[in-house]
Structure 1
Amino acid sequence: MALSEEQQLEVEALCSIYEGDPSYKQIDQRTHQYLVGTEGESGSFLLEVSWPVDYPECPPTLSLDSFYNKHMSSSVKTAALNLLRQQSEAAVGMAMTYDLFDFAKENHLQLINGHSAEATSQRTSPAIPTKVSHNVFGGMEKREQLTKAQKRRLADRTDHKGELPRGWNWIDIVKQLSRTGCKDES
C-alpha cells in the first residue's frame, strides 16, 4: 500500500536525520529499527517501530522481538514496551517515530533497568554458577578479519601447527656484536 502524505514526510525526515547513523535502519516503508545503546554491550537493544495503515492517527506497533534482543528477558521487554507504548499513545495524531527513538535513547537505563538487575543477580548467585556473557552473539567474541595477504604472511612465519618457530624474535648476537663492538676488559 502507498504511504499517506504525512507518512512520506516522516520517512523523508527520518532518512535525513539518521543519514550515516549505523544505529538506524529502514526495513521497509512502514518499518524502522533503531539500536539503542552501544552494539555488543549487554544493555543495548533493537527497537522496531511498524506503522499501521492509519498511522499517525493510531499508535505504531512496537517490538523488541528481534534476534538481537535474545539476551533480554521477557519481563524486561514487557516493562520497556509498556513505557514506550505510553509515549506513543500520548503522541497519537503526530509523527512520533523519531520521538520514540529519542525517548528510548534518553531513558535507556530506565528501560533496561530490570535487565541489569537480572544480570547482577545471576553473577552473584552462589547456588547456580553461570557465565554471564556480555556479548549478544552467543558469547563468542568477534575476531578481527584478516585479508588473504595477511593470512599468507602469517602462514609463512608459522609451522604446520600455527606456532612460530623457536627463536623467531631473538636478536642475532653475532650481528649485534659486530655493529656495537665488544668491550675490552683491560
Structure 2
Amino acid sequence: MATKGSKSPKNKTSNPRKSSSKKINESNLASKFKELNSSFEQEKEKFLRLFAEFENYKKRTSKERLELFKTANQEVISSLIPVLDDFNRANQQIEKGDKNIDVDGFILIYNKFFEVLKSNGLSSTTAKIGDSFDAEIHEAITQIPAPTDADKGKIIDIVETGYQLGERIIRYPKVVVGQ
C-alpha cells in the first residue's frame, strides 16, 4: 500500500490521449523538418546558381572591358597613321638633302596632328600667363621672385601646356610661379 510521502510510479501509457497527440506532434515535426530541409536545399541551389552566374558575369565584363580598351586604342592609332605618313614624307625630303623645306609644311602637320587628337576628345587647358596659380589645375615646377607685387602668386611662364581628355585632366600645365 502506498504511504503518505511515497509516490506510486506513473504508468506512461495510462493516458492514451497524450500518447497519440505526442505521435501526431512528432510526425508533424518530422514533416515540417523535411519541408524546411527541402526549402533550404532549394534556396541553397538558387544561391549557388546565382553565385556562379555572378562570377561568369564578372569574367565576361572583364573580358569586354579589355576588348573595349584594345578597340579604343586601335581607333586612335588608326587615326594617327595619316599624320605619321606626313612626317615620313617630310623626313624623306630632309634625307634627300632638300634645303628648301617649307616650315609651313611642318605647321600643317602639327595642326593635322592636333586636330586628330582633338577629334578623339583631347583639348589643351586654359592656363595663361598672369592667371592666379591654382594647385588643383596647375603644376608649379619652380618659383621665381615676382617682377612686381601684383605678380606674386601668379603664373609667370608656361613651360608645358596641359591637356585634358573630355573633362579629365591628363597632364597638368607646368608653370613658373611668381613669389
- TM > 0.5 fold call: no
Asked which structure has the greater CA Rg, the reply is: 2
More strand by share: 2
TM-score (norm 2): 0.19
More helix by share: 2
